[in-house]
Amino acid sequence: MNETHKDQAPRPPQMHGVLVLDKPNGPTSARCLEMVKRRLGQRKIGHAGTLDPMATGVLVVLLGEATKIAGFVTEGQKVYTGQLLLGQNTDTFDAEGTVTAEAPWEHITPEMAREAVDSWKAMTTQDIPPYSAVKVNGQPLYKKARKGEEVPVVTKPVTVFEAETLSLELPLINFRVRVSPGAYVRSLVHSLGTRLGSGAHLTQLIRECSHPFGIAEAVQLDELLENPERLAQRVIPLADALPHWPRLALSPEQAKKVRDGKWLSLAELPGPETRVMLADPMGQPVALAEPQDRDGARRWAIIRGLNTPA
């Protein structure tokens, strides 16, 4: 099937929900979204957590009204498997960069390597890679790096909940980590190389999970682009986009109040002391809410209004 024929194929209507892509190696996350937007007619589109071009695996794409909940979807922990190479540092901290330093690695024993991976769990901060989209004074770090300018060292909090060595064939180490949102695995690898005195960079990375969505739910980008009629069956409805959030059912009268921006009291709509999704009698999301005190009562504060078109 040629490109022209594909572009002339009927495009699905705008969807509202989550599309879990299995991102291929090579394109940027933005490029993947652009292909879905152009080829599948999804004009309103975003994502929850970018992946570097060399990385593969779970890319959570948000369609239509689901773009409004990006900040809540990105809160989830991430699970990655990866491979690193000892003996070389690169300017990007991964295999796509230019080698900046080399050092012997032969003194490193399997026990030392496993201990270095395990030590990630003790980290509380990490340096952000110089080639990243993080902004300082309004300018992304990668722009400074590409110009050859001095890149400021920026640190951020990080939590590594699990770190496991899967296999060793030194100087290669295969590993799995479960990390807090926004963590840079290539920075973990760079820090390991510094600790061992050999240098190291990331050579492979697969995101297995961006909680609550896993690789088992993901569809390959090429498969989806070649079969646009399958998009609807691959989109997780907005009502199920935050499956770990409790959902409270509203009466027709309550749904109208919430749509009008009114805060319902917990007395009239009992629920847990946590963030919830409020849904109308048809099960369609109306808003995200959380308990707050207001006017002498505990009420459901609307933190994001939602409006799924019929």
* Residues identified as active-site: 52
Q: Is 211 helix (H, G, I), strand (E, B) or coil?
A: coil
**How many whole angstroms separate alpha carbon 131 and alpha carbon 41?**
32
Q: Is 72 exposed, middle or buried (0-12, 13-18, 19+ CB in 10 A)?
A: middle
Which residue, 218, 217, 120, is CA-closest to 178? 120
Tokens linked to 148: 């050859």
Name all contacts of 232-236 with Cβ < 8 Å and 24+ positions apart.
Answer: 232/12, 232/15, 234/19, 234/20, 235/15, 235/16, 235/17, 235/18, 235/19, 235/63, 236/17, 236/18, 236/19, 236/20
Helix (H) or strand (E) holding 17: strand 17-23
Give the count of beta carbons closer than 10 Å to the beta carbon of residue 171: 17
Is there a contact between 197 and 39 (Cβ–Cβ < 8 Å)?
no
**How many whole angstroms separate alpha carbon 304 and alpha carbon 266?**
18
Is there a contact between 57 and 64 (Cβ–Cβ < 8 Å)?
no
**How many whole angstroms separate alpha carbon 77 and alpha carbon 160?**
10
